[in-house]
Chain A
Amino acid sequence: MVLAPGLVLVAGLAAGLKAVTAGESPATPAVETLRLLGKQRRRTPDDDPGLARVGLALLPVAAVLALAVVPLGDRAPVDLDVGVVWFNAMEVVAWFAVWVAGWGPNAVTSLAGGYRVLPLGLAYEVPHMLAIITPAIAAGSLSPVAIAAAQQDLWYAVWMPAAFVLYLVSVAAMAFWGPFAAPLGRDLAGGAAAEHAGLDRLLLLAGRWMLLTAAAAMAVPLFLGGGAPPPITGPDPFPGLPALWFGVKLAVVLGLLLALRRAVPMLRMARFATLAWVVLVPLAVAQALVVTLVVLA
């Protein structure tokens, strides 16, 4: 039950960090939240607000449901034996959410922004699936708890670096973040978010931060050994505090994702689709093949 407020808090902290790196005040996200809460929603002629609000409300809900199977420390809130697949299923709900959020207002920029989610999704999803299934192959389980436990001696980020990098790139695309922010692009005056104000806008923007945070959290059990200390440190300096190690690793992954936004300019969807299918998919298949051969040998 503390999962949703906890996710909101961590996502808010991440948003504050982003504000600092963008040269704004760290309180900007909080101020912006209060401002949006105090504003009225906006309607456009002949719109479909009901459908748009279904999507807008689904975005943060999907983020919380995705986080529910992630072990925060040594135990997951819901220890699902097919947790990796469940996580994937919840994150594709975001495609639908952003698409209807852009569709609802019946406005050009908003609609085009919503449609941009589709080529983005079609480009990142296959490398993403291969990237999350590779640790599962190595651990012989689809449960994130079991995958984290299988990394006692060697982090999967070290053993399968290509899968780790592909995971980071694809979750940035999943949360339409950084170079993949085209659905909310400035060239479309805000894209899918253009016509949303007040609570609607807050749900979309906060839901996106929550999605990014939940995806960063999943990287910890999949690639960074979960709540265990790094294998090279020898005896655990903080025994019995897996949640602490989880928090440190989550902060590192979030930092990498924030740096990605600063380092790479916005990509055109068509170029990213080419890159994904010509480079990223073969790379992901090769990584999965290497891991499978090592596991079988």
Chain B
Amino acid sequence: MTALVAVVGALGAVAVVTGLLVFTVNSMARATFLLLASFVAVGAVLIGFGLGYLGTVVILMMTIEMMIMVVFMVMLMMNPAGLMPMTMVHNRRGSWAIALVVFGLLTTGVWLVPFPTPGPAAVGDPTLALGDALMGGQMLTMMTLGLALLATIVGTVAVAVSRR
């Protein structure tokens, strides 16, 4: 148990540190790598909590998401090629102000919100219990929505692909 807490704590530290480093590097590939490392550490924390499915899905989806982000970089960035230095931060004063205000609000919230007392441990599969708690009666809506989204994606691609 102590070892698990230590490992999860270390992974949490990795997630925070790599998340911070994203804004210190000067190349989009390095920023992508550090952001991915941060997300993978979070996925590993979830696995450490016994949520094997959720943790694995986080690693899977975040890796794909980073790679799709690269597709957007190619589409939208002025220089998605070489290693020309770039900065990851803009509008320094404004972002400092926003960051400090949000941090203050969240920190206050942590101390003001009454935390739930630990109830009985979840029975059976924790992923199932979490999914039920999050979605509950909306499961059918979410499933329909997911299918509609997939159909939309396929339809959009089919329409967008020009046939010569």
Contact = CB atoms under 8 A, between A and B. Distances in A.
Contact of A89 (B36, B60, B154): B60
A292 B66 CA distance: 32
Contacts, number: 80
A118 interface: yes
A103 interface: yes
Nearest to B54: A82
Interface in A240-284: 273-274, 277-278, 281-282
**Chain B CB within 10 Å, residue with most, of A48, A81, A89, A106:** A89
A51 interface: yes
Interface string A18-36: 0000000000000000000
Contacts of A86: 56
A96 B36 CA distance: 10
Contact size class for B? 20 to 34
A80 B53 CA distance: 10
Nearest to A92: B63
A51 B60 contact: no
Interface stretch (B27-35, B86-94, B129-137): B27-35
Given A100-B33, A122-B71, A277-B161, A46 B60 contact: no
A164 interface: no
Interface in A85-125: 85-86, 88-89, 92-93, 95-96, 99-100, 103-104, 106, 108, 111, 115, 117-119, 121-122, 125
A23 B47 CA distance: 47
A117 B70 CA distance: 11
Contact of A48 (B27, B64, B68, B163): B27
Given A48-B27, A51-B30, A82 B63 contact: no
Interface in B18-55: 27, 29-30, 33, 36, 52-53
23 contacts: A48-B29, A48-B30, A54-B33, A81-B52, A82-B56, A85-B53, A89-B56, A89-B57, A92-B63, A93-B63, A95-B63, A95-B64, A95-B67, A96-B36, A96-B67, A99-B67, A122-B68, A122-B71, A273-B161, A274-B161, A274-B163, A277-B157, A278-B161
Nearest first, the 7 A-B pairs at minimum CB distance are A89-B60, A89-B59, A277-B157, A85-B56, A92-B63, A82-B53, A103-B29
